[in-house]
Amino acid sequence: MCMAIFRDMHSDPVEHDRSIEDRRRHKKLVEKAIKDNLADILSEESIIGESKNKKVKIPIRGLKEYQFIYGKNTKGVASGDGTEKRGDRIGSEKKQGMGQQGAGNQEGEEMYELEITIDDILDYLFEDLELPDMDRKKTSEILVESSKKRDGYQKYGIRPRLAKKKTVMEKIKRKQARKRALREMNLPVDIERFPFVEDDLRYFRIKKKFRRESNAAIICIMDISGSMDNTKKFMARSFFYILSRFIRKKYKNVQVAFVAHTTTAEEVNEYQFFHRVESGGTYISSGLNKALEIINTRFNPENWNVYAFYVSDGDNWSEDDERTIKSAKELCRVCNLFAYAEVMPNSYSMTIKGKLTKEIKDKNFIAVSVSHKNELWDGLKTMLKKKQKGGY
């Protein structure tokens, strides 16, 4: 071990710096690979309801050593070889073997498959997102446990917190005291067996660290009527799955309510919300009114930061449009944010999104269109992007 330490102390500093740079480059490649493949990962139906430890594979480019490349450059600073004519673009030639049809004769790019858990992917995803305009209302702030740390020792506790080193030290102290007592009595001090006793045991004292966090209530509202076919319902569920994982990962003191509606609405549990299949007509106002009922009953806006998220294909029975606009305006009044995602809207008539954006001018109302499953992530980012200095 000493020799290993000695060799490490005399290792080449250039090699050490290179390894640090390689790790940095690898980390950037991993981040880029995740971001490039996010749409495909998040739009896979199989991840809904999976555990956070489920692994997915992502292609990633291999690291290459820096080297000089001779010949005509294809990007960056280019130089000619003397054969160019006036008007020729230098460095515009395509590399052989890249994007050409048929068999090429050039070496391909080195690619690997990286296995990563859904939880790690979500860490990358949620880094730049937050629930917007989270007010620190006096009556809504509570103390929540944020971390635990060791703070000294105590004589009682659970086995996992046993401080072994401190326990051995207590036994040695007791043994030394015993030997001193034997010497004072002029008795032999040889002690062959000296087992641990209960009084030797010491346990780590754990101190809880608390921080203040505001209450937040999330109302998830989904249209499950007949116009929402399997593809649209899958997109809606995918949207709410990502949203629910984001909320539970970034916030401790959050309550979530789930509302499903056709022409009538009801509050359901999480399992029913993600698996329920129905048909029938559509009264969007029924879902929004049920959300308002839940807010008025359980989440007083004076005490809670309330966020309402609604997903539908935008088809609504025409006689319900005015009621829907009225309910949406009321949600904007009582909520920090009312967000609406319209999935695969029809192109032959004006959907409810167009009517809502025309009638509602509140800054806390956001409406996005999601025409393809790959657009789910962009829609969610629009709703939850962090507030920058000077506004969104």
| Residue at 244 is within a domain | yes
Residues 235 and 287 in one domain: yes
- C-alpha distances (whole Å) from 119 to each of 5, 111, 115, 241, 373 are 37, 23, 12, 13, 20
Instruction: Report residue 311's pLDDT band, with 50, 70 and 90 as the boundaries.
Output: very high
**What is the enclosing helix (H) or strand (E) of 109?**
none
In tens, the pLDDT along 175-204 reads: 888 888 888 888 887 887 888 888 899 998
Residues 248 and 276 in one domain: yes
Residues 192 and 225 in one domain: no
In tens, the pLDDT along 255-309 reads: 899 999 999 999 999 989 988 887 888 999 999 999 999 999 999 888 888 999 9
Residues 317 and 199 in one domain: no
Distance from C-alpha of 382 to C-alpha of 10, rounded to nearest angstrom: 52
Number of domains the chain contains: 3
Query: Which of 206, 197, 195, 199 lies closest to 155, judged by CA?
Result: 199
Last residue in a domain, options 117, 135, 160: 117
* Residue 261 belongs to domain with CATH number: 3.40.50.410
pLDDT at position 43, please?
56
Residues 229 and 167 in one domain: no
Residues 197 and 289 in one domain: no
| Residue at 198 is within a domain | yes
Last residue in a domain, options 100, 117, 134: 117
Collapsing DSSP to helix, strand or coil, 324 comes out as helix
Of 220-229, 231-240, 254-263, least confident by mean pLDDT is: 231-240
Residues 236 and 311 in one domain: yes
| Residue at 146 is within a domain | no
Distance from C-alpha of 331 to C-alpha of 294, rounded to nearest angstrom: 11
- Find the helix packing angle between 284-298 and 321-334, rounded to 10°: 30
| Residue at 82 is within a domain | no
pLDDT at position 6, please?
36
For CA atoms 236, 39, 45, 231, give the dihedral sign: positive
- Cβ–Cβ < 8 Å for 252, 237: no
Of 140-154, 158-172, 252-266, least confident by mean pLDDT is: 140-154
Instruction: Report residue 390's pLDDT band, with 50, 70 and 90 as the boundaries.
Output: very low
Residues 350 and 219 in one domain: yes
pLDDT at position 211, please?
59
Range of the domain at 198: 151-206
pLDDT at position 55, please?
64
Distance from C-alpha of 204 to C-alpha of 325, rounded to nearest angstrom: 59
Instruction: Report residue 82's pLDDT band, with 50, 70 and 90 as the boundaries.
Output: low
Residue 161 has pLDDT above 80, yes or no: yes
pLDDT at position 342, please?
94
Residues 361 and 265 in one domain: yes
| Residue at 104 is within a domain | no
Residues 176 and 305 in one domain: no
Residues 28 and 165 in one domain: no
DSSP labels, 176-211: HHHHHHHHHTT-----S-----GGG--EEEEEEEEE
Q: Which residues contact 339 (CB under 8 A, 6 or more apart)?
A: 307, 308, 309, 310, 365, 366, 367, 368, 383
Q: Which amino acid is at 222?
A: M
| Residue at 97 is within a domain | no
Residues 292 and 381 in one domain: yes
| Residue at 132 is within a domain | no
The rounded mean pLDDT for the chain is 76
Q: Which residues contact 359 (CB under 8 A, 6 or more apart)?
A: 325, 329
Last residue in a domain, options 97, 117, 137: 117
| Residue at 25 is within a domain | yes
